Amino acid sequence: MIPPAAPPAHTPASTQSRVLAAGARPMVEAQRVSVRYGKHVAVEDVTVSIGRQQITALVGPSGCGKTSFLGTLNRLSDLIPGCEVAGRVSVDGEDIRARGFDLVGLRRRVGMIFQKPNPFPLSVRRNLEFPLREHGVRDRARVAEVVEQSLRNVGLWAEVKDRLDAPALALSGGQQQRLCIARALALEPDVLLMDEPCSALDPLSSGVVEDLIGQLRAQYTVLIVTHNLAQARRIADNVALFWAQGGPGRLVEHAPTEAFFESPRDPLTIAYVGGLRG
Amino acid sequence: MAERAQPWGDHVAAVFIWTAAAVVTSVFVWMLADIVWNGAGQISWEFLTAPTDDAGRAGGIGPILVSTAMILGVCMAVSVPLGVGTAVLLSEFTGTNVTFGRLVRRSLDVLAGVPSIVFGLFGNAFFCHVLGLGFSILAGGLTLACMVLPILIRSTEAGLRAVPNEYRMGAAALGISRTSALWHVLLPAAAPGIVVGLVLGVGRAIAETAALLFTSGYVDRMPGSLFDSGRSLSIHIYDLSMNVAGGSANAYASALVLVALLVPINAGISWVADRWLHRRLVR
């Protein structure tokens, strides 16, 4: 077990009102979440509320626990040997770390996009059909409809409609990443977790994927880890800065994008945004 | 422009490497040529199907081929599901550092190096006597399965470990069960490793003599069931060349059949693995 941490030097709670309107129900909530790998504590005492249908960018230097934190939100951290999570995480008000919680249902509602595009070594069509069938969508007409709609949603339909049975791994990196997003969207999630989805792509593809993420705002709650401050500024509604000062990563500041960049409160944020640190 | 002369060390190395390759290849070619030269004359449909006669000096190898196929069938029917299952357990459900996994892997590596005669004695004691199967095709096949398992497990495990972890994470993040991910993505992607294991395993099984002497016996009648004793091709060759005066012509012919059998068997394994596993993937 992780011992209760000393009161954090920074009080993210005080930034709460800047992000969520009073009375608004958050989509994702973390309370005093810590993540450790064996003896190494990667994230400590993160408390944060993420509003519905907003894009929240998690920024900060490498190794400050952004990805580790992201992994607690769909419990993919369960799969990493030696990884222990403490604290409370809730999605839409439900404690997802409760005993016997429906993991399959959770991962259907909380989709994830990885840094490196990871389509299965199947055809473009089967990449979308396989998870759908797993979740009980078996009607052929319905499956075909969802496949087409998901590909349209990510702007890939025109590019691949004549080669749905071609290998997904033959697509370009940017197309593969959009296919992965389509695959997640096909399951009609509420939340999308994105771990640096553009960093492995060339600038053009990266731009296309970034535009796509911007369009997801209306329907999905998006948490995106990025090292690219300019990207965070372009697409995010809110920005959360993680920082590891010699120890575990902590949440330093969580604010609406404009406030984060124009009137940051924490000295670390001021330095980071100003390009002095990180 | 004059080319720079190669240093003499390079020439020596080149000569050495080419000589080594030539020696290895010529040994194989010589063996094959010897078998074909001495054996091809006897091969006929009659030889392949007729019962043995006069302790193998005359007649054919019909019952021997049937026994061999049955022993191999038992061996594969037992070792493939057990082997793939254990490999899945080792690679997907136990980490590399877990004591249990380490223990199993270490034992398998030791088992893979155990001389086949030891397997024969074990098979004789356990399958023939303790389980009361007597000298039978079943006992022989099960003993061979024990021999083949380590090879099969280790190469299937290596095949599974070579599958990128992104597929596992991606599948889990989509709420796909481990079983489905295994069946639809991981095992098909590991098919090359499984094929290597099967080819090596079948090769070891079909060539085996010592382990079968004690377990399936060397009765050269046509077997009526799995509980009958049966003589495998390798034992037939051994018996003809060691114990039967005047049997060397048929020993050569049987050896040629054995070598020739490996070609369709290996092709068949690749085909089945491709048909049932690899073909599910679209690359």
Question: For B10-69, what is each residue's pLDDT tens digit?
Answer: 999 999 999 999 999 999 999 999 999 999 988 999 999 999 988 888 888 999 999 999
Cβ-defined contact of A122 to B180 (cutoff 8 Å): no
| Contact check, Cβ <8 Å, A131/B176 | yes
- Show residues of chain A in contact with B187, CB under 8 Å: none
Q: ipTM of this predicted complex?
A: 0.86
Interchain CB contacts (distance < 8 Å): A and B:
76
Long-range contacts of B150-153 (CB under 8 A, 24+ apart): B150/B108, B150/B109, B150/B111, B150/B112, B151/B112, B151/B197, B151/B200, B151/B201, B151/B204, B152/B79, B152/B80, B152/B83, B152/B84, B152/B87, B152/B197, B152/B198, B152/B201, B153/B83, B153/B86, B153/B87, B153/B90, B153/B108, B153/B197
Q: Per-residue pLDDT tens for A34-59?
A: 999 988 999 999 999 999 999 999 99
Taking an 8 Å cut-off on Cβ atoms, the answer to whether B177 and A76 are in contact is: no
CB contact under 8 A, B174 and A165: no
Q: Is the pLDDT of residue A106 over 70?
A: yes
Q: Find the closest chain B residue to A112 by CA distance.
A: B173
CB contact under 8 A, A104 and B281: no
Residue of chain A nearest B172, judged by CA positions? A76
Q: Is the dihedral of CA B43, B44, B45, B50 positive or negative?
A: negative
Closest chain A residue to B183, measured at CA: A130
**Average pLDDT across chain B, whole number:** 90
Q: Chain centroid to CA A69: how far? A: 10
Taking the CA of residue A247 and the nearest CA in chain B, the distance in Å comes to: 27
Q: How far is A56 from chain B (nearest CA, A)?
A: 20
Nearest Cβ partner for A126 among B166, B189, B282: B282
Share of chain B above pLDDT 90, in %: 63
Give A12-273's CATH code, choosing from 3.40.50.300, 3.40.190.10, 3.40.50.1370, 3.40.1190.20. 3.40.50.300
| pTM of structure | 0.81
Structural domains in chain B, CATH included, are 62-280 (1.10.3720.10)
Name every chain B residue with its beta carbon within 8 A of the beta carbon of A126.
282
Mean pLDDT score, B149-173? 93
Q: How confident is the model at residue A151 (pLDDT cuts 50, 70, 90)?
A: very high
pLDDT at B96: 65
Contacts of B282 in chain A (CB under 8 A): 121-123, 126, 165-168
Of B95, B172, B177, the CB nearest to A76: B172
pLDDT at residue B97, as a whole number: 67
Chain A 124-183, residues with CB within 8 Å of chain B CB atoms: 126, 130-131, 134-135, 165-169, 180, 183
In B, minimum Cα distance to A104 occurs at B175
Which residues of B have a CB under 8 Å from any CB of A? 95, 164, 166-177, 180, 184-185, 188-189, 280-283
Q: Using CB atoms, which residue from A121, A123, A187 is nearest to B174?
A: A187
Strands (E), chain A: 28-37, 40-50, 55-59, 83-91, 94-95, 110-113, 191-195, 221-225, 238-244, 249-256
Query: Cβ contact (<8 Å) for B169 and A131?
Result: no
Sequence ranges of the domains in chain A: 12-273
Report the distance separating Cα B255 and Cα B233, nearest Å: 8
A192-208: pLDDT as tens digits = 999 999 988 888 889 98
| A134: nearest CB among B95, B175, B283 | B175
